[in-house]
Amino acid sequence: MNEHMIAERYAKSFFNILQMHKMLHEGNEDMQQIVALIRESSLFRSFLNNPLYTSQARQKLVSKLLKEKITPLTLHFLLLVIKKKRIAYLQVIAVAFIDLYHKNQQTGKALIELAHPIFSTTLEKSLVIFIKKITGWKAVQLSVLVNPELVGGYILTFKNKRLDASFRARLQQLKNVWTKSPR
């Protein structure tokens, strides 16, 4: 079975349970913590994927490690994922859940890459309003990344769309035109 199909099934089930208990926000925070832990800790990642550890050993460690950091409902869900031997899909499940949460809340993430760290609150508010109008989202979480390779301008990425208004892209377009034109 495809890992995305597995992830969707588990994420939807967990989403529905949290929705019944009116704990979607807490579940989303828990899943974001889990994704961060998996991405940042190679030791935790290797522990989860190491076939030498039994399900009971994994459950014990996950319980000790996360008991104080996540809600009991999320911990129970993680233990179930381990018991069903789907722990290898945990990151994909967590990301699928976060996506479901954002769709439900009509929120989304956007990234703006700038050549220089010049960013004002007015510009941020304007971008958020622009993104809300285009996407229909109620809220936007905007991240700023400084990328000196852009030379100037910006790249705005949201909802699988990429608006590239960087000087680097324009220079590349000019280069392509010059190399294709006959002399």
Query: Which tens digits make up the pLDDT trace of 108-128?
Result: 888 989 888 776 778 888 888
The predicted pLDDT at position 183 comes to 60
Average model confidence (pLDDT) for the chain? 89
The predicted pLDDT at position 125 comes to 87
Using the predicted structure, report yes or no on whether residue 155 has a pLDDT greater than 80.
yes
Using 50, 70 and 90 to split pLDDT, how confident is the model at 180? confident
For residue 78, how far is the Cα from the chain centroid?
19
Rounded Cα–Cα distance for residues 44 and 110 (Å): 28
The predicted pLDDT at position 119 comes to 66
Q: How much of the chain exceeds pLDDT 70, in percent?
A: 97
Rounded Cα–Cα distance for residues 53 and 6 (Å): 22
Using 50, 70 and 90 to split pLDDT, how confident is the model at 14? very high
Rounded Cα–Cα distance for residues 87 and 183 (Å): 60
| Closest by CA position to 110, among listed 145, 140, 154 | 140
The predicted pLDDT at position 98 comes to 93
